[in-house]
Amino acid sequence: MLFVILGKTLRSRPIVLCLILTLILNTNIQSHHVAVITSSSNYMTSSDIVLPVWMQDLQEHDPIEILSDADFEDQGWPGNGSESNPFIIENLLIRSEYTSIMIRNTTKHFEVRRCHLTRPDSVLGGGPAVSFRNVTNGHAINNIINGTAYGLLIRNSTGVVVTDNTVYDTMFSGVEVDWAQEVLIANNTIHHSVSGIALYETTDLTIRDNRVYRCHTGVFLTDVHSSNILGNTIWRNILGLDLAIGNSIITNNSIYWNAEFGIRVSTGIASNMVYGNRIGWNGVHNAEDNSNSTGWDDGLGTGNSWNDYNGTGQYPVPGSSAGLDRWPLVLVDNAAPVVDQPLDMDFEFGSKGLMLRWNTSDEFPNSYQIMVNGLWVEEGTWIDQTITFLLDDLQNGTHTLRLRLWDAQGNYAESYVSVHVSEAEPPMISNPPDIEYVVGGSGYNITWIPEDAYPESYGIFINGTLSESGEWNGSAILVSVDGLNAGLYNFMLVVFDDPGQNATDTVLVRVRAQTGTPPPDTLGVVLLLFGVGVVGFVITFSILYTSTPYLMRFRREDDSEDPEEIQVAIEELQEDRSETGRSV
């Protein structure tokens, strides 16, 4: 582990000019309690992983700068600034090399929510993603922030709420609060920052239920008063909780597996009270106290749980202050992690989005590794109760997947799953009949019905030239062949599935030329006058168009009220001796 800071200190805070941080956290297995694993069906696809709605509908936006209450309305943000109808900034993707959202000198209620705030890929450093300064009643809720200098920077503000955000890969602090009061920081996940949460010269804060890991310092407090730090999980950092001047209450936190100290209290006038916490398996010491007045119990009979307490007497806290926990408890974790056993899987090669899912639990989760056919392919911090592994890259054959979990005590659990990848069946396509029609005909279509378990795309070629292509979702594919000139056409459909296999089918379309001018809708009215009893008259019509047979109508009108109508199809007419017509 190497951590180098060059520079000077301002307000007990290092100005970092050069930072080289390498975290090497070994898996130190202290015991071998193996879990009993139960079977369950955990075979899912990527469609089972539902992204939050706001992640599916982000709009790119330029950086936002609000310098007064009037700017909210002038810039068109919805809401009226009341507590029940705050101004809303939401569903935005902002990439900025400086500050993505800056809000200053406001008193109206507002919310920044469901935004992804980051920096351009080619830019290093920059400013905070979110900056609140001299703000009252501001909320930052459910945002994702990464790659910036700071995640959220709150200064000279009152009544600010920061909840349910994910902040990672920041150069300095994930969340920093300076000279503020009445601030709530809750339910955030912060990792891979120099300081996860950093608090300076603040009063009346609540820091609860956050998860902070893989930082240099998980939570840092100096000159913080009348505040509560409770219910947080702080693990796998260099320093877990770093305290200096202040008189806050630190209770009910899980602080474990940090490389140096779980809790360190620096030199200074510190009247913090630390009790009801679970502190264990930290590298150098679980705690170190160099202050003059830190309390390690509540004075009423409640101390902390320590994994290195021997169960007898008081617990001496290392450091120059000779601090004591007068009512310590032994922190014991003899229970192995719990992991269910997914059923073995069998699917075709090339299937996309299939995932293996393990449901897990432990009081002090630490790390995990995944092995495929004897080779480790993935490892990381055990954070969530569900661990997933994407199966897209598996080739044909039978594979053994192994998950191993470790908790802070070193207890572990394993799960083995057999995954068989079979050779995929190619797509199948129906074979529609060939088509023939005369120029000018309409209503002619080719309907192909292709089938495949993993449809992907299609292409339609006419005489060897691509005419149409697109995504294929497994449904029928229809193409109109109307409007063609006379000739012979080769229509070919090609469909592809996810594994890259394809199938084709060809339909021939013959379009015949017209041999004359199409007839009018009616052939006109012919009036014949002849005497009663006259016979032998012949009416001759010449049909000069050889398309679809037409229908002729003959009407005889006399003195009766209802004329009689006779319909005769062309095919039924008596042919004459000419080549151009028929007669009756």
Phi, psi of 70 (to 5 degrees): -65, -25
pLDDT at site 218: 98
What rounded mean pLDDT belongs to the chain? 83
Encoded tokens for 24: 């090497």
Taking the CB of residue 300, how many other CB atoms lie within 10 A of it?
7
Least confident among 14-23, 84-93, 298-307, 366-375: 14-23
Q: What is the pLDDT of residues 90-107, one digit of tens each?
A: 999 999 989 999 999 999
pLDDT reading at 19 higher than 60: no
Tell me the average pLDDT across 179-196. Answer: 97
pLDDT at site 314: 97
pLDDT at site 539: 56
pLDDT at site 41: 38
pLDDT at site 52: 64
pLDDT reading at 50 higher than 80: no
* DSSP assignments along 212-236, one per residue: EESSSEEEEEEEEEEEEEES-EEES
pLDDT at site 123: 65
Can you tell me the distance from the alpha carbon of 156 to that of 339, in angstroms, rounded to the nearest whole number? 46
Domains of the chain by start residue, with CATH: 61-193 (no CATH), 338-422 (2.60.40.10), 428-512 (2.60.40.10), 521-584 (no CATH)
pLDDT at site 31: 32
Can you tell me the distance from the alpha carbon of 253 to that of 230, in angstroms, rounded to the nearest whole number? 6
CA-based nearest residue to 234, from 283, 184, 275, 197: 197
Contacts of 103 (CB under 8 A, 6+ apart): 64, 66, 110, 112, 131, 132, 133, 135, 138
pLDDT at site 350: 75
pLDDT reading at 552 higher than 70: no
Tell me the average pLDDT across 412-417. Answer: 95
Quick one: what percent of the chain has pLDDT higher than 90?
67
Quick one: what percent of the chain has pLDDT higher than 70?
78
Tell me the average pLDDT across 236-265. Answer: 95
Tell me the average pLDDT across 242-248. Answer: 90
pLDDT level of residue 189 (50, 70, 90 thresholds): very high
Least confident among 203-212, 288-297, 389-398, 524-533: 524-533
Q: What is the pLDDT of residues 292-351, one digit of tens each?
A: 889 999 999 999 999 999 999 999 999 998 899 999 999 999 999 999 999 999 988 877
pLDDT at site 125: 64
Tell me the average pLDDT across 478-499. Answer: 92
Least confident among 149-153, 176-180, 420-424, 488-492: 420-424
Contacts of 224 (CB under 8 A, 6+ apart): 199, 200, 201, 202, 203, 205, 245, 246, 248
Q: What is the pLDDT of residues 384-413, one digit of tens each?
A: 888 999 998 898 899 999 999 999 999 999
Least confident among 20-34, 70-84, 485-499, 509-523: 20-34
pLDDT at site 505: 95
pLDDT reading at 2 higher than 90: no
pTM above 0.75, yes or no: no
pLDDT at site 88: 98
pLDDT at site 472: 93
Q: Which residue has the higher pLDDT, 536 or 72?
A: 72
pLDDT at site 3: 28
pLDDT at site 563: 42
Can you tell me the distance from the alpha carbon of 161 to that of 484, in angstroms, rounded to the nearest whole number? 67
